Amino acid sequence: MSTINDFSGYNPTWCPGCGNWGIGVAIKQALVQLNLSPSKVGVVFGIGCSGNMNDFLNAYAIHSLHGRAIPNAIGIKLANHKMPVVAIVGDGDCYGEGGNHLIHACRGNHDITVIVHDNGVYGLTTGQVAPTALKGFKSKSTPSGIIEIPINPLSLAIGSGATFVAQSFAGDVNHAIAMIKAGIEHKGFSLINILQPCVTFNKINTYQYYLQKVYKLPLNYKKDNFKTAVEKSLEMNEEKFPLGIVYETDKPSYTDQLPQLEKKTLVEKERFSDFEKLMIDFI
């Protein structure tokens, strides 16, 4: 059985107090509790402070281009649909540069788990505003305050067809572990938005801020009700942050609907070798 040390790489270089520390521990512990090993899970990292986890997490992993973690994760899943695939991204990386990929991954119900570090800023490039930043947020790139309203990641994912949408808080590692495990075990597209304070560049969305505004969904919450989930997700627009599985439903995943994958994964199939014929067909 794997241990958290098996998943550990180099020592992290995140700022002291950064929410990435809690998320990093939660991801490793979730993988251990799911009885996975570094060679049995595919991980794709985006660009940003969260993407630096590529050096700190031991797994079959790649560091993608900015905003391109999701299509890389989908490619891995198509090649080996039996392997759990996780994309670890930031809010700027996923909701900004990668927003289009997110929408179409949701509507295709691709069986991948996307874990988003939501801190409202581009921390790696010294704190420019991310798509989840509140209207009026001031930064180096918006000294007079951001004009746009923030993206609501929960309602965006639910409305786009995601079959599992959850939210957690970096200050509650045990809750984050539970959400990550549930997301990986879910068959279909899973989004886990983790509210994460950036102690260096975001002085608004602090630990104290979230502790006053987050709340856990009750045990009797009906997570399979689409209308209720949308209404609950919209509370984010009023700076009220529900924690838990906001929406979960059971629908066929993308790879489940491909007849080519009924018997074998693509990596188990015989390789195509007649590339000259292939080129003639396409030229």
Domains of the chain: 19-282 (3.40.50.970)
CA–CA dist 18, 216 (Å, integer): 22
Task: Tell me what pLDDT residue 277 has.
Answer: 78
- Provide long-range contacts, Cβ within 8 A and 24+ apart, for 4-7: 4/28, 4/29, 4/32, 6/32, 6/37, 6/38, 6/58, 7/31, 7/32, 7/38, 7/57, 7/58, 7/59
**Intra-chain end-to-end CA distance of the chain, in Å:** 51
Task: Answer positive or negative: Cα dihedral of 215, 203, 198, 148.
Answer: positive
Q: What is the pLDDT along the chain (283 residues), one digit of tens a residue?
A: 889 999 998 899 999 999 999 999 999 999 999 999 999 999 999 999 999 999 999 998 999 999 999 999 999 999 999 999 999 999 999 999 999 999 999 999 999 999 999 999 999 899 899 999 999 999 988 999 999 999 999 999 999 999 999 999 999 999 999 999 999 999 999 999 999 999 999 999 999 999 999 999 999 999 999 999 999 999 999 999 999 999 999 999 999 999 999 889 988 887 767 777 778 877 7
DSSP codes of every residue in 9-37: -SPP-PPTT-HHHHHHHHHHHHHHHTT--
Residue 131: its pLDDT value, please? 94
Alpha-carbon gap, residue 69 to 73, rounded angstroms: 6
What is the reported pLDDT for 257?
95
**DSSP label at residue 132:** T
C-alpha 101/C-alpha 104 separation (Å) is 5
Residue whose pair of structure tokens reads 């509507």 in the numeric block = 107
* Predicted TM-score (pTM) of this structure: 0.94
| Sign of the torsion angle spanned by Cα atoms 114, 115, 121, 123 | negative
Q: What is the pLDDT of residue 269?
A: 80
Closest Cα partner for 41 from 7, 83, 87? 83
Contacts of 59 (CB under 8 A, 6+ apart): 7, 31, 38, 39, 41, 42, 43
**Based on C-alpha coordinates, what's the Rg of the chain?**
19
Whether residue 119 contacts residue 19, with contact meaning beta carbons closer than 8 Å, is answered with yes
